[in-house]
Amino acid sequence: MDLKPGEKAGGYETKHYVCVRGMGELARGQQVKINLGETIVVGRSRHCDWSLRRTPSYLKSDANGRNVIAHDLAYNSVSRKHAKVSYVAPDMVEVENLSGNGTLVDGKLVDKIMLTDCRAKTHRIQLGPKGVILELEPGSLPL
């Protein structure tokens, strides 16, 4: 079903979304759009919606065909299923830690946090204390 911005799908307007985008050398090149009412899982597993194993850096191989970053400290700080990001209302995104390594949002360690200004401000999600950084950025029209 093709919907135009502003049309409703499942009770939600399609013009509302946020993006989770990988930052830095290790995570760059991987981005996921989250529509209003959707939840994604981020982590190292290929089964995650945002996966560290699908980034261009991870897919590089050395001359012997081995993965270049598999033993990188930042890579190993990311759990298979590290965090859940849910876009629950037009300005509200919930970030929930699923990892023993911890999740930081805007520099603060969290178990679960509700961000209430996601269409006006970009937030940083760090997967583990030495892990990769993701940006949660507005994608919909500003208020």
**Structure confidence by residue, pLDDT tens digits, 23-49:** 988 888 889 999 999 999 999 999 999
Higher per-residue pLDDT: 57 or 7: 57
pLDDT at 68: 61
Rounded-to-integer distance, Cα 111 and Cα 100, Å: 10
Using CA atoms, how far residue 6 sits from 13, 20, 68, 136, in Å, is: 5, 21, 43, 22
Report the mean per-residue pLDDT for the chain: 83
Q: Which residues contact 71 (CB under 8 A, 6 or more apart)?
A: none
Nearest residue to 33 via CA among 74, 75, 5: 5
Instruction: Tell me the pLDDT band of 14, cut-offs 50, 70 and 90.
Output: low
Q: Is the pLDDT of residue 12 over 50?
A: no
pLDDT at 26: 83
Tell me: the pLDDT tens digits for 87-98?
A: 999 889 999 999
Tell me: the pLDDT tens digits for 51-60?
A: 988 888 777 7
Q: Are 103 and 95 contacting, i.e. CB atoms less than 8 angstroms apart?
A: yes
Percent of the chain at pLDDT exceeding 90: 55
Residue 53's Cα: distance from chain center in Å? 13
Q: Is the pLDDT of residue 103 over 90?
A: yes
Q: Which CATH architecture has domain 17-138?
A: Sandwich (2.60)
Q: Which helix (H) or strand (E) holds 75?
A: helix 73-76
Tell me: the pLDDT tens digits for 63-77?
A: 666 666 655 667 788
Average pLDDT over residues 109-129: 94
Q: Is the pLDDT of residue 141 over 60?
A: no
Nearest residue to 73 via CA among 25, 134, 22, 123: 25
